[in-house]
Structure 1
Amino acid sequence: MKPALSALTVLSILLAAPALAAEPQIDVPLMKRVVERLSADDLEGRAPSTAVEPKVLDTIIAAFKAAGLQPGKDGWLQDVPTVEVTGSHHSPLAITGGTAPLSFAVGKDYVANSYRLLPRTDIQGAELVFVGYGINAPELGWNDYAGIDMHGKIAVILVNDPDYQTEGEQGLFKGRRMTWYGRWPYKYEEAARQGAKGALIVHETFPAAYGWNVLQSSGTSPQYFVQSPNDGMDQTEVNGWIQLPVAQKIFAAAGKDFAGLSAAARQKGFKAVPLGLKASLSFDNAVRRSVSHNVVGVLPGTTRPDEYVLYSAHWDHLGHCTPDASGDDICNGAVDNATGVAALTAIAKASAAAGRAPRSQVFLAVTLEESGLLGSEFYARHPVYPLAKTVGGVNMDALDPGGRARDYSLTGGDKSDLTALFRAALADMGLKETPEDHAERGSYYRSDHFSFAKRGVPMFDLSRGTDLFVGGKAAGDAAHEDYVKNRYHGPNDEYSPDWDWSGITEDVTLFYRLGHDLAISSAWPNWHPDDEFRRVRDASRATVTK
């Protein structure tokens, strides 16, 4: 089914498109200047909503103007109102109604926060219900909430999705590859849609793809959200995680077999199980409101200007961070993600030089990616250009300096008709496709393209492989390990005039090619019929007047 559909899509694009433009001229000196400026020490690591943000925005706007872009429909800047919520004075998580009362300590045994902007969260005697993986997927005939009213209750949920233990990608939920249904934000969102008072996810290291130490740190730190008109009152009152041994003790107190119910939850037709227990917990919330900004530029289309192709990259980074041995505490973010903004600018310049395409091309430098994709989330909630008329797009995040590679991988795997464009472009460029590393980690759902994908817009997220033309896989793997170990999210992620730009240049050429193919065509790519985002894309496109 999928190969035939993809081949048809490629054919339709080729038939609908004029002849391809000449190979783009990617302006490497321009990219060098953008990266060097955005990662300079005086921009202090580009932390959003700080005194340096205006200088960062001025730099990006100037680069966009010089590249030939026009301001977006509402101007260069889109306000992004956000909130920071810091929980404190957490009570123990108290469980009653079982063989014996249980009490669990915050940090050590559980973590919990609230999306609601209230000064205090106080849950007393909420019923616990085991809802398996907490998934409602009509396209797969799967609903863990079928037949149960969750109002006033707390959902206890397994992490990942039902077939994560399967080798390969066989199964309703794509086997080892994590789907959106396996990610914790989905589980919180679905629990809220079901009317639940709260959601507690059971942590296990392998299916979560990280240890409890990560949650112990992030779950007790300030939480960042996009401001909503109702201050999050449509969300659950409490969201959190519990350690696996905690879950086992809770189930035992309820006279239930955790292992047996977990196995049952992997089967289609599983029914939620009330545990006959009640949970109580409370904590204070300190709320701080702030505003950051997305930068929006556009190349208007010629014959179909109300159809849009989107290019995105985040401009923010961590600001000041843990000092290194020399005392340097500026996380400059040269690779992550000054390179992405430089790529945006270079593609904009190449696109302007090639002449305007039939469709409009939108260039979006978003804020607050490092705080949870908040800039792209805000744009997706409040799009300057309608998502129903956004054809698809390309996201660019952390382009590694280094040599050209023979291979590229499609993050998220074969999810949509965009796969065919990707494979055609690789073939044309003499490159090959390799599988995504660690598909079980759900990387597709962790960068800015996802804010658009979950609302139906097919988005590319690509990774350059490690099979380098010079040095092969050994050299590529060593370079990647060096970046992760020594520079990622640290003060050493700095610009160097000695960078090898050949790999980035090939990345940007590929990104240009994919966006350009969409911009000159009349096709509307969609998700595959069994994909979790197909329903929302179909519903979105149905709102467009033909």
Structure 2
Amino acid sequence: MNTFRLLALFGVLLLPNVNATPFQFDEKTYRQDVETLASDKFEGRGPLSQGETLTVEYLEKAYKAIGLKPGFGDSYRQAVPMAKITADQTMQLTIPDVVFNNGRDFTARTEQIQPQVSLDNSDIVFVGYGINAPEYQWNDYANIDVKDKTVIVLVNDPGFATQDPNVFKGNAMTYYGRWTYKYEEAARQGAKAVFIVHETAPAAYGWNVVENSNTNTKYTLVDDQNNQSHIGVMGWIQHSTAQTVFQKAGLDFDKVKLTAAKAGFKAIALNLKANLVVKNTIELATSYNVAGLLPGTSQSDEWLVMHAHWDHLGKTVQDGKTVILNGAVDNASGVAGVMQLARHFNAQDKAPKRSILFTAFTAEETGLIGAQYFASNPPVPTKQLVSFLNIDGMNVGKGVDYILRYGHGVSQLETYLDAAAKAQGRTVKADPRPQNGLMFRSDHFALAQQGVPGLLFMSLGDTDPDYIAHKYHQGADDYDANWHLGGVKQDLALISDIIEKLANNNDWPKWLEESDFKKLRAQDGK
């Protein structure tokens, strides 16, 4: 097929369905959904809590009322086996004779299913960014044995540190910069503990986010070995804490840090010992993903997924007071948006050719746990999933003349985004903060790891500069009756346009850049 015919065919695939009813935003229902899900009654929607029970019941009732079929066989729920781990927050970290206080100076937790994890005179090694990336000719663990030791690593990756486009991906974070990768690689290397040095710019959030996210109950999937392959201690330390530790080793942390961004960096044994006891209360329980299905017609075995995670951080204690982290924008706004889309498509006179699965997963905030379980245990094989569209926080303010694109040249879904934005008279704007690695921080990434291409729709701090600093993962993320919601309306209409096209054509959007994702999709014959 020649280039002209190929482009013409792809243009036809992007044409809207002339029989489709334009998206109608039901503001009253949307507000009701967000206000309810983000109310104190729902206790911050923490997994394995009374808040989860209320949330799952609310979603299941809504999906039934909309007219969706059960998404998991005969059930709207997918059971996700999890452990609820609550660490004793009176812990202290000692290196070697300096005592650091939990919350203020460091955080520590574990995903291992055991009542206590300890560091007993554990040798400390600084391993730079903690990255082993053959494709970038980079290995911070080269020629160093960290088995059963405590490693200190830097957040983000050398590309951000140098701002050199020839180092990793320059300012744009790679997965090697994510805290999840740091823990995974250290575990592969045999380390006992990891402490990531927090700095606001490379982390993309302040210490308050780290503290709120890691000093309350956490959750994890459970394997048949009680997660013993996971790192023993998953920690963060303040920049000032790192400076003190390195000073004790006779080193200047800020000078040593600069050397870690250069090729050929060699790990440094600090000749210091770490001592810490993490005592855990463990509860094995079941959480739930929720999904409703709109069956397709002629291509019903091909599924499109429209998603938003339902969970937030539950409750925490600050200054002796219980604070409910309601997560109105993150992500009650997204869950309510998915329900709006479900109502719209179920109300169409003609069902789509492909099936549409409307999903809400558990425990995104703890590391994409619900998404990981779904990706490993999908209701149909992942090779039948056309794409995964993911809302993680909506623009509850006024509409804007652009839509953000996370990543560039990643998959052909970007073409759909371009077309839908153009139809609205909007432009597509590159992620203004590629260093934040948002491509790897929400549920679509778990499906990408199985080869399913996705799009992320996120408006957390872009239209509200105050959000990240004072609301994100904090008690101030509450529903506000004064929200304009113009941004929600226009973004849901845009997403509706993309769903309409994908649900009624024969296209299988492909990965563009070379990656493990692309290889997996190719193995599926897509």
Match of 1:513 in 2: 497
Partner SS state of residue 520, structure 1: coil
Counterpart CA distance in 1 for 2:367 and 2:440 is 11
Cα–Cα, structure 1 residues 114 and 309, in superposed 2: closer, same or farther, change >3 Å? Answer: same
3-state SS of 1:165 partner? helix
Aligned to 1:20, what secondary structure does the other structure show?
Answer: coil
Q: How does 1:257-336 map to 2 (within 5 A)?
A: 258-259=253-254, 261-317=256-312, 333-336=327-330
Q: Is the 8 A contact 1:409 1:433 kept in 2?
A: yes
CA distance in 2, matches of 1:269, 1:11: 49
Distance 2:230 2:151 in 1: 13
The Cα of 1:493 is off from its aligned counterpart by 2.5
With 313-322 and 396-405 compared, the bigger mean Cα shift is at 313-322
CA distance in 2, matches of 1:39, 1:243: 31
- The residue correspondences of 1:180-195 to structure 2 (distance < 5 A) are 180-195=175-190
Q: Does 1:117 align with 2:113?
A: yes
User: What letter matches 2:332 in structure 1?
Assistant: A
Contact kept? 1:134, 1:144, Cα under 8 Å = yes
Secondary structure at 1:420's aligned position in 2?
A: helix
The one-letter code sitting in structure 2 at the alignment partner of 1:20 is N
Contact 2:394 2:488 in 1 (8 A): yes
Amino acid at match of 1:408: I
State the alpha-carbon separation in 1 of the partners of residues 119 and 472 from structure 2. 42
Which amino acid in 2 is paired with 1:25?
A: F
- AA aligned to 1:241 is W
2:136 counterpart of 1:137 = no
Secondary structure of the 2:308 match is strand
Contact kept in structure 2, 1:26 and 1:508, CA below 8 Å: no
| Residues 266 and 47 of structure 1, relative CA distance in 2, 3 Å threshold | closer
Question: Is the 2:209–2:474 contact (alpha carbons within 8 Å) kept by the matching residues of 1?
Answer: no
Counterpart of 1:50 in structure 2 is 49
Query: Which digits, 9 at most, give the CA deviation of each residue in 1:294-329, with x for residues without a partner?
Result: 111122344444433211112334556789xxx997
CA distance in 1 between counterparts of 2:354 and 2:34 reads 29
Deviation of residue 407 (structure 1)? Answer: 1.3
Residue 345 of structure 1, aligned match among 336, 339, 343? 339
Structure 1 211/501 Cα, relative in aligned 2: closer, same or farther at 3 Å?
A: closer
1:234 Cα deviation from its structure 2 partner:
0.7
Q: Give distance in 1, aligned partners of 2:13 and 2:496.
A: 19
Q: Write the distance in 2 (CA, Å) between the matches of 1:492 and 1:133.
A: 32
Query: Residue 94 of structure 2 corresponds to which residue in structure 1?
Result: 93
Query: Is the 8 Å Cα contact of residues 297 and 363 (structure 1) preserved in structure 2?
Result: yes
Q: Scaled by the length of structure 2, what TM-score is found? A: 0.83
User: Does the Cα contact within 8 Å between 1:410 and 1:463 map onto a contact in 2?
Assistant: no
1:392-445 deviations in Å (ceiling 9; x for gaps): 221123324343221111234553332222122211221112333433333333
Query: Matched residue of 1:314: which SS?
Result: coil
Asked if the contact 1:13–1:521 (Cα under 8 Å) also holds between the matched residues in 2, the reply is no
1:161 Cα deviation (Å)?
0.6
Gaps spanning 5+ residues in structure 1: where? 1-6, 96-101, 467-475
1:126-525 correspondence to structure 2 within 5 Å: 126-167=122-163, 170-216=165-211, 218-248=213-243, 250-251=245-246, 258-259=253-254, 261-317=256-312, 333-352=327-346, 353=348, 355-463=350-458, 481=466, 489-490=474-475, 493-494=478-479, 496=481, 500-525=484-509
Question: Structure 2: which amino acid aligns with 1:520?
Answer: N
Find the residue that maps to 1:384 and give its secondary structure.
Answer: coil
What is the rounded CA distance, in whole Å, between the counterparts of 1:360 and 1:335 in structure 2? 28
Contact 2:130 2:185 in 1 (8 A): yes
Total equivalences in the alignment: 515
Deviation string 1:483-530 (CA, Å, 9 cap, x unpaired) is: 97589854782363x754443221111112223333334444344435
- Say if 2:66 is the partner of 1:67: yes
Q: CA deviation at 1:341?
A: 2.3
Residue 20 (str. 1) matches residue 17 (str. 2): yes
- Paired with 2:401 and 2:77, the residues of 1 have a C-alpha distance of 38
CA–CA distance in 2 between the matches of 1:335 and 1:362? 22
User: Residues 354, 40 of structure 1: CA spacing in aligned structure 2 closer, same or farther, 3 A cutoff?
Assistant: farther
- Give the equivalent residue in structure 1 for 2:78: 78
Write the deviation string for residues 321-369 of structure 1: whole angstroms up to 9, x where unpaired: 789xxx9977665544333223212222333316344433221112334
CA-atom RMSD in angstroms = 3.8
Code of the residue aligned with 2:49 in structure 1: it is: T
Name the aligned partner's letter for residue 540 of structure 1: L
Secondary structure of the residue that 2:414 maps to in structure 1? Answer: helix
Query: What residue identity is the alignment partner of 1:504?
Result: V
The answer as to 2:98 corresponding to 1:103 is yes
1:268 counterpart SS class: coil
Range with bigger deviation, 306-315 or 366-375: 366-375
The 1-side partners of 2:353 and 2:186 are apart by 42
% identical aligned pairs: 36
Amino acid at match of 2:496: Y
Contact 1:157–1:199 (CA under 8 A) maintained in structure 2: yes
User: How many angstroms apart in 2 are the aligned matches of 1:414 and 1:77?
Assistant: 35
What's 1:471 paired with? none
Q: 1:290 to 1:277 in 2, by over 3 A?
A: same
Question: Any gaps of 5 or more consecutive residues in structure 2?
Answer: none
Aligned equivalents of 1:187, 1:134: Cα separation in 2? 6
- What is the identity, as a one-letter code, of the residue corresponding to 1:507? D
CA distance in 1, matches of 2:458, 2:5: 25
